[in-house]
A and B are shown apart, each in its own frame.
Chain A
Amino acid sequence: MGGLIARRLAFMVFVIWGVTFVTFFLSRVVPGDPVRLLAGPRAGKAELAHIRDLYGLDEPLPAQYRRYMTDLLHGDLGTSFVTRRDVTSDIAAFLPATLELSGYALLLGFVGGLVAGSVAAFRRGSGVDAAGRLSAIAGLSVPAFWLALLLQLLFHTQLGWFPLGGRLDASVTPPPHITGLLTIDSLLTLNLSAFSNALWHLALPVVTLAAGVYGLMTRVVRTSVLDVLGEDYVRAAEAKGLTRWRVIRRHVLRNGLLPAVTILGLEFGLLASGVFVVEAVFQWPGLGSYAFNAIQAADYNATLGATLVIAIIYVFTNLIVDLGYLYLDPRIRYS
């Protein structure tokens, strides 16, 4: 167990190094002149040379790599070409909105998929099962950016039930910054009108983002619950005279959910890609919008900085998931 954790941590260090290496590689070695991109098409020769000097791009590659890593270790991701501010502080400002959005989406998709997947498995081969499978595959198939537009069209333009985008109405005073998550900050300060307004704004983007998570989760839970239902220990539990609900709760769900935990990492990957397009459509001031705008403006440091941060969060999530799995499965815990 201890050795296993040590190996996982060592692997994580390797992966994070690899992630930084890939971003460095992308920024310096890949064809296409980053300086030209930075300076824009109308820049003169002197301006290009100035930028080269400013970013150390005239140095040999190993020296550039050393400088890049040194900056990184100090948490310096460079300066955004568009906002003219530190990419690090930009990301810190945009991250909470993304965390709030994806947190609720993960919760909704996870719970929804859990229920749908188990019900489909218990009613295997029935119409309910087919509906569960179809909805799961639909959730995985629907393009998030299109679903976002459709929800806007229906619930904003046609029905007027939900706002078009943003985190709060302009008329609502935002709660003081504690965690950066509006729903939590407003609750902590007992600002109920801000709380409900924040939830109201969250609804459509959360549903859009949750669709993929729901699809993946339903599929995995259905398969693993079906596997567990065929296990002898489920029959043994029934033979003990446990109520059906107790058998389901203690034996079927508990064991069937272990694989669902392992795919949390995958779901985070889905969320990370969904966040890009969903935030773009709902004008959600998060990391996805930031990266989207950076891409549109060919803002180099900002694009790669955001990529790096998302990748590192992803690596950490996977580590936590792995350790959580070690804890949940005694077969690994005690070996």
Chain B
Amino acid sequence: MNAEPVLSVRELVVRFATDAGTVHAVNGVTFDVGAGDAIGLVGESGSGKTVTSLAVMRLLPKAGRIVSGEVVFRGKELTTLSEHEMRGLRGKEISMVLQDPLSSLNPVLTIGEQIAEAIRAHEDVGRRAARERAAELLGSVGIPGAGDQLERFPHQFSGGMRQRVMIATALVLHPKVLIADEPTTALDVTVQAQVLELLHELTKELGTAIVLISHDLGIMARMTRRITVMYAGFVMESAPTVELFARPRHPYTVGLLGSIPRAGADGELRPIEGAPPDLERAPVGCPFEPRCARRIAACRETMPPLVPAADASHLVACHNPVPS
């Protein structure tokens, strides 16, 4: 990992105020992304992955609030930045690809308009120049006849094409960081591979660091160099991808790895038993404790800190980690 991370999240805490009470969505999440690096945030739905990424972008829904923690981008603290300055970063320095490409494209605007508005939000270019850039870009993400495609509407594209458009839009201004939130979950399996390949190539070419959010460990293994495992808004384990797959230390990670179907194994899918906890209660102890096979008395009392397990790059938050 590079010495100076381009994006660094420290002890991030996010809460939501709802009719039913306070929801503890993110409880002290920490991770770093080096320039041009690729890291993954993995966890079940409800683990706080998406909320973390929205907090980094400062695009939390109204009910959500960053309670404490730091988000540092190239030495700049983002949580206290003015909305005006923050807007200047969004899409230009840090951009985002959302899960469902159909719902993230406005149905009544043409593809061309939606790419061009991303350019014109940050650069003082004319309509025509923005259009040319958009056409060029569509070509570069493998959409043929790019010039004519600009006039078309989202519903006239296939799912894979739409996600290519979203990726193109996110990368048009050569951002330093791209946050991709489940970028292929809504796509067909055959298209998934192509889109991931495209994402990989483009970010490498532009030197864009990527934060990939997914519940799919197979994708993580292919795309990332380091993985942070999240559960109920906490970081459970964080390690280089190869290390994590080879020597998972947290019982939850072991469970996750156990629940990916692997060819050649017994073919049984082994989901972790039980359901994720109710985020409405204030977190006391380890949130995974009720589902954990290795729980001990301390797990009920305190949340274990995230500490180095074997070497400094492999961190785990567990009172009773799996021996390596």
Residue of A at shortest CB range from B179? A239
Which of A240, A250, A331 is in CB contact (< 8 Å) with B91? A240
A308 to B256, CA, bound (A): 70
Interface pair A236/B166, CB less than 8 Å apart: yes
Which 5 A-B residue pairings sit nearest by Cβ, starting from the closest? Answer: A241-B91, A241-B90, A240-B91, A232-B103, A240-B118
Q: Is A14 an interface position by the 8 A CB rule? A: no
**8 Å CB contacts to B: which residues of A236-272?**
236-244, 246, 250-251, 254-255, 258
Residue in A241, A243, A329 with the greatest tally of chain B CB atoms within 10 Å: A241
A142 contacts chain B at the CB level, 8 A cutoff: no
* Closest partner residue, chain B, to A123 (CB atom): B62
Task: Check: B242 CB closer than 8 A to any chain A CB.
Answer: no
Known: A241-B90, A334-B153. A255 touches B107 (CB 8 A): yes
Q: Is the CB of B104 within 8 A of A241?
A: no
Q: Is A161 an interface residue (CB 8 A)?
A: no
Cross-chain pairs A/B with CB under 8 angstroms, 19 sampled: A233-B105, A235-B59, A237-B106, A239-B59, A239-B170, A240-B91, A240-B169, A241-B87, A241-B91, A241-B121, A242-B87, A242-B117, A246-B121, A250-B106, A251-B106, A254-B109, A258-B108, A329-B107, A330-B155
Return the chain A residue nearest B84 by Cβ: A243
Known A241-B121, A329-B107; 19 more pairs at CB < 8 Å: A232-B98, A232-B103, A236-B98, A238-B90, A239-B59, A239-B90, A239-B96, A240-B91, A240-B117, A240-B121, A241-B90, A243-B87, A255-B106, A255-B107, A330-B107, A330-B108, A330-B153, A331-B153, A334-B153
Q: Which of B62, B88, B103, B107 is within 8 Å of A331, CB to CB? A: B107
A61 at the interface (CB under 8 A from B): no
Known: A239-B59, A240-B90, A241-B87. A255 touches B169 (CB 8 A): no
Main secondary structure of the interface of A (DSSP, over half): helix
Which residues of B (67-124) have their CB < 8 Å from a CB of A?
83, 87-92, 95-96, 98-100, 103-109, 117-118, 121-122
Q: Which residues does chain B contribute within 8 Å of A244, judged by CB atoms? A: 83
Report the Cα distance A239→B105, complex, angstroms.
12
B14 to chain A, nearest CB (A): 16
A242-B92 Cα distance, complex, nearest whole Å: 11
| Across-interface contacts of B169 in A (CB, < 8 A) | 240
Distance of A255 from chain B, by nearest CB (Å): 6
Number of interface residues of A (CB under 8 A): 26
Q: Would B108 and A239 count as touching, CB distance under 8 A? A: no
Chain B interface residues toward A at CB < 8 A:
54, 57, 59, 62, 83, 87-92, 95-96, 98-100, 103-109, 117-118, 121-122, 153, 155-156, 166, 169-170
A313 on the B face (CB < 8 A): no
Contact of A250 among B95, B104, B109 (CB under 8 A): B109
Judge if A328 is at the interface, Cβ distance under 8 Å. Answer: yes
Q: Is the CB of B104 within 8 A of A233?
A: yes
The answer for the CA separation of A244 and B169 in the assembled complex, in Å, is 19
| Complex Cα spacing A63 to B131, Å | 67
Residues of A with C-beta under 8 A to B96: 236, 239
Q: Which residues of B contact A235 (CB under 8 A)?
A: 54, 59, 98, 104
Contact residues in B for A124 (Cβ distance below 8 Å): 62
Beta-carbon nearest neighbor of B53 in chain A: A239
